[in-house]
Each structure stands twice: as structure tokens, then as C-alpha cells.
Amino acid sequence: MKVLSMVRASDEENHQTRKILDSSAELIIYRDLNDEEKVIAIETADIIICGRLTDEQITKTANLKMHQTFGTGVDRHNLELIKKKDILLCNNHSHSIIIAEYAFSLLNAATKELHSNDKLLRKGNWDYSLFPSVTLFKKTLLFLGYGNIAQHVKKMCAPFNMKFIAVKRTMNMNDNDVEIFLTEDKLEAIRKADFILNSLPKTTNTINFIDEEEFAVMKPSAILINVGRGNTINEKAMYNALKEKKIKGAAVDVWYNYPKGRDPLERDPKPVLPSEYPFQELSNIIMTSHRAWSTDYPWSEFAQTLIQNVNKFIRGEEPDNIVNLEEGY
């Protein structure tokens, strides 16, 4: 089989990929090809490893049987076209520990109001009473969704003797330390939470999962962390809750409005604000640019999982993390 890698990786990393890939497969590195060869490579590839394929690229595929993406969320993929072309789409969860680490950092930054205290001292103001710290010890942390990211965050929070609760679609749970609430009981769970960590993917069932009704029952001291998808939390409802100080604060890495090209080589130089609402004017929110995934974590760590999954497909085994194209996850 022809395996086309469209990943930005070094020569050494591509060499490691070749060593892991099943010996029966031919690995083609997209960046090593000229423009004409790139078109042919997409047309003839049996398997493509990349982030998101454009509609034009998907349409040009003739042999593509499997698309292995290195991200978890697939809401920006054209699932209808992928389904029409009968392509198996597999996402990837190996970077969940990185997102979890970032989420844990956002939780600590928000509870300690690092952004506000930093601004104070830059002005020479040493008044530590203006933005006192909120401790994690013995507080209740609510997970919206309990996938890999949430499970990693729980481990990071374990030393703080916290209470853990989660909203899930089912009661299935291997972790006895987490109290489960079904989706229809989410308001009860939200009322209990000191901190809320959202790592939900964007699907038809999760858009506006947190809306005005949910914000209305949150504690005034609640802090919301979002590393899932922006649209899972209603934009206007979150802005109003923060502006009117209905909740203490938020730390958000995922948004509603994005530049057309996020790659530094393609990005529009004009400033692009992440929402139609002026979150940037609020003092009780930490805002970052959907960059939790961007670290020095080596590609080789991802490659192990990705290529082993590709190998399963090549050998006729069922690969992991097959995306349900109907549900969008």
C-alpha cells in the first residue's frame, strides 16, 4: 500500500516513521515532492496521514481507503464528502496528555489570577489582597465529558484531595473516584462544581451544551476551563456571565472566530479577534489562541501511535479510533 505522509516532520522523524511502518508499505513524504508529484501522490495514495484534507484533495483521491488524522476533533473535516468517498477516518488521542497539561495550567493560572497579579506588579502595585488565590484543595472539579483529556487532568489533580464529578452520556465508568451524572442531569452536577473543565468535541449533540440555563445555576465562585470546542459553550451566554460577574472567571483556549489560515506562513497579518463579543475587554478571563497542542513534544511520540494504527489497517486488522461519520466523533 502507498502511505502518504503530509505531516511536517524532520528527516530524522520521517526516518523513524519508515522504521515503524509495516515493511509491505511504501512511505511517500509529501514535502519532498514537486507540485505535479503531489497531485499524483494524493490521487494514488491508499492511506494518508495528515491533519485535514481539503475538499479539493478529497475529491482528487482515487484509491484512498484510510485517512489517519493526528488530531482528535474532526468538526472541520468534510465528513459528508469523506463518507461519500467511502474513506475510513481515524482520529488520534495520543496528544491528549499535552492538552490535559495545558488545561491543568489554565486551571492553576485562573485560580491564582496570575494574569491580574502580573499586571499589578508591572505597575509597581504589591497589593496581594486585590486578587487572592483560590486553592484547589478539597474543591469539586466537574468534567464535561470524561475522555482521555479529563482522565489525565484528574491524575494531575489527585494530590489536591479534590472531589471529581463528570457529565457523561452513559453511566459506564471504570473509575470509582468519579461520580457520574447523565446528560439530562447536568444542571445538578453544575450546581455542585467549583471548577468546570470542558473537553467536549463539537457534535450535533454538544453544540451549546453550556448555555444561559447552565450559567444561571453555576456558583458565583465557579471557574470555567474550555479546551474542548468553542461552540460547545454558547458564546453570548459565556460573555454575559463573565461581564456580569455571575461566575468568577474562565480560561479559554478554543473559540468562535478563527483566521482563515492559522499556519504562520499562510496567516492573514490583520488582527483577528476570537469572538463577536469583546471578551478581550474583560478582566476575569484568560484567553489563548487554540494552542494547547503546540509544544516541544516530539513528533516521534505521536508517530508511534499513528503508525501502529496504520499498520493495523495494512494488516487487515480493525484500527483504533474510527470516527463515526454520522455522529461526528
Domain ranges (residues) in the chain? 2-94+297-314, 96-287
Domain 96-287 has CATH 3.40.50.720: yes
pLDDT digits (tens, 9 = 90+) for 66-121: 999 988 888 889 999 999 999 999 998 888 999 999 999 999 999 999 999 999 99
Say whether 279 sits in a helix, a strand or coil.
Answer: helix
Q: Over 18-52, what HEC string results? A: HHHCCCCCEEEEHHHCCHHHHHHHHHHCCEEEECC
Buried (b) or exposed (e) across 84-118, using 16+ Cβ within 10 A? eeebbbbbbebbbbbbbbbbbbbbebbbbbebebe
Contact 89, 76 (CB under 8 A): no
- Residue 284: CB atoms within 10 A of its CB come to 20
Q: H helices of the chain, where?
A: 11-20, 35-44, 55-60, 79-84, 96-111, 114-122, 148-157, 186-192, 212-217, 235-243, 299-314
Do the two domains 2-94+297-314 and 96-287 of this chain adopt the same fold? yes
- Phi–psi pair at 23, nearest 5 degrees: -65, -15
- Residue 253: CB atoms within 10 A of its CB come to 22
pLDDT digits (tens, 9 = 90+) for 159-208: 999 999 999 999 988 888 999 999 999 999 999 999 999 999 998 899 99
Amino acid, res. 110: A
pLDDT digits (tens, 9 = 90+) for 19-29: 999 999 999 99
pLDDT digits (tens, 9 = 90+) for 234-287: 999 999 999 999 999 999 999 999 998 666 656 667 899 999 999 999 999 999
Instruction: CATH number for 2-94+297-314: choose from 3.10.129.10, 1.10.357.10, 3.40.50.720, 3.30.70.360.
Output: 3.40.50.720
Per the structure block, which three cell numbers stand in for 27? Answer: 512511505
Beta bridge partners of 26: 2
